[in-house]
Amino acid sequence: MTAEAIEHAPSEVRSPAAFLTSRVFIYGALIFWAFICLFPIYWTITTSFKTAPNVTQGHLIPWVDFTPDWRGWRSLGLSPDTIGGTSTVRDEFLKRFFNSVITSVGASALAIVIGSLAAYGLTRFRYKFGWMKNEDISFFFLSQLILPPVVLALPFLALYKGLGLLDTRIGLILLYTLMVLPIVIWIMRDQFNSIPVELEEAALVDGLSVWGAFFQIVLPIALPGMVAAFILSMVLCWNEYFFAALLTSTNANTIPVMVASQTGSQGINWWSMAALSTAAIAPLAIIGVLLERYLIKGMTAGAVK
């Protein structure tokens, strides 16, 4: 028995007309919300193929309302006729793009490594650091989640200046790792708790060390959880703007900083902004569609018990 049938149980039993109404309502609402979710994306992608008059006259449908034009992509150096040649804008864009890739992959990987280890230790062993026991240590890690970035931003500005880490990718990676670490620990703790401890006990009896049992027995089982945590971290790091805007200037800029700096300038080139935005959201939109399962797994870890 499904929830929907319960929700509409009386109508389902009583009259086909009422059943039909509820169907129409449900699908109407679903399609309406799908429209709300998709329209801005559709608008952005189509605008990247528009010329100025098409934008000002509010044309919406390609080939019907307006003829698609490569102008937006040409200004990024990514249209078919410019892709072979040299383009400073494209080099700039690719540099930002790879900065984003390196920082988000680097930070997610680092957070997964140290976060998984800590989560495993916290679910399996008893620690004592002074007055702090396992629960306190877990709380210490998870409480980082409420720390607003702005609290760390200015101290880090001063510290990174002293350390010579301003405008470097390493500096961003360290901060992003910090940002996603509580989430990784949250997800991985949930994951390790769901693995029966008997497996490791058997491995220890067979003569494996604690670390050997972790790498050979536990890690393969926990892999889906790690993938989920990794993808969620990737999304958060890729989209991060605040720290990147404060701590980078020319070398380590990420894509969001590039997008934001374009919007500030006078007389926005709609088509090139649209092309840039499309390029900025495309990787994650693709990840979202392909790996939705893992994202949901990551987000709902520990929520339902």
Per CB under 8 A, contacts with another protein among 76-115 are: 113-115
- Give whichever of 59 and 84 is closer to another protein, judged by the CB atom: 59
Determine if 124 is a binding residue for another protein (CB under 8 A).
yes
- Give whichever of 80 and 148 is closer to another protein, judged by the CB atom: 148
Token look-up 């390029």 returns: 279
Determine if 281 is a binding residue for another protein (CB under 8 A).
yes
> Residue 60: exposed, middle, or buried by beta-carbon count in 10 A (0-12, 13-18, 19+)?
middle
> Among residues 200, 217, 229, 233, which is the contact residue for another protein, using CB under 8 A?
200
- Give whichever of 204 and 227 is closer to another protein, judged by the CB atom: 204
Determine if 255 is a binding residue for another protein (CB under 8 A).
yes
- Give whichever of 76 and 80 is closer to another protein, judged by the CB atom: 76
Three-state SS for 280?
helix
> Among residues 20, 83, 145, 219, which is the contact residue for another protein, using CB under 8 A?
145
> Among residues 21, 24, 43, 224, which is the contact residue for another protein, using CB under 8 A?
43
> Among residues 66, 230, 270, 294, which is the contact residue for another protein, using CB under 8 A?
270
Determine if 251 is a binding residue for another protein (CB under 8 A).
no
- The two structure tokens encoding residue 119: 């989560």
- Give whichever of 98 and 140 is closer to another protein, judged by the CB atom: 140
Question: How many distinct helices (H) and strands (E) make up the chain?
Answer: 16, 0
Query: Which range touches another protein (CB under 8 A), out of 25-33, 68-76, 78-86, 88-96?
Result: 25-33
Q: What does DSSP assign to residue 146?
A: G
- Give whichever of 86 and 259 is closer to another protein, judged by the CB atom: 259
Determine if 241 is a binding residue for another protein (CB under 8 A).
yes
> Among residues 181, 217, 218, 252, which is the contact residue for another protein, using CB under 8 A?
181
Contact criterion met (CB below 8 Å) for 11 and 22 = yes
- The two structure tokens encoding residue 92: 């700039």
* 3-state class percentages of the chain: helix first, strand second, coil last, to nearest 5: 75, 0, 25
Query: Which range touches another protein (CB under 8 A), out of 66-74, 88-96, 215-223, 291-299?
Result: 291-299
- Give whichever of 147 and 223 is closer to another protein, judged by the CB atom: 147
Query: Which range touches another protein (CB under 8 A), out of 49-57, 65-73, 85-93, 218-226?
Result: 49-57
Q: Label residue 65 left, alpha or beta by phi (over 0 means left) and psi (-120 to 50 means alpha).
A: alpha
Pairwise CA distance, residues 36 & 284, whole Å: 19
Neighbouring residues of 73: CB distance < 8 A, sequence distance ≥ 6 = 48, 49, 79, 82, 275
- 129 φ, ψ (degrees, to nearest 5): -115, 95
> Among residues 20, 24, 30, 223, which is the contact residue for another protein, using CB under 8 A?
30
To 10 degrees, what angle do helices 270-290 and 88-124 make? 30
Q: How far is the CB of 51 from another protein (least distance, A)?
A: 13
- Amino acid residing at 280: A
Neighbouring residues of 105: CB distance < 8 A, sequence distance ≥ 6 = 234
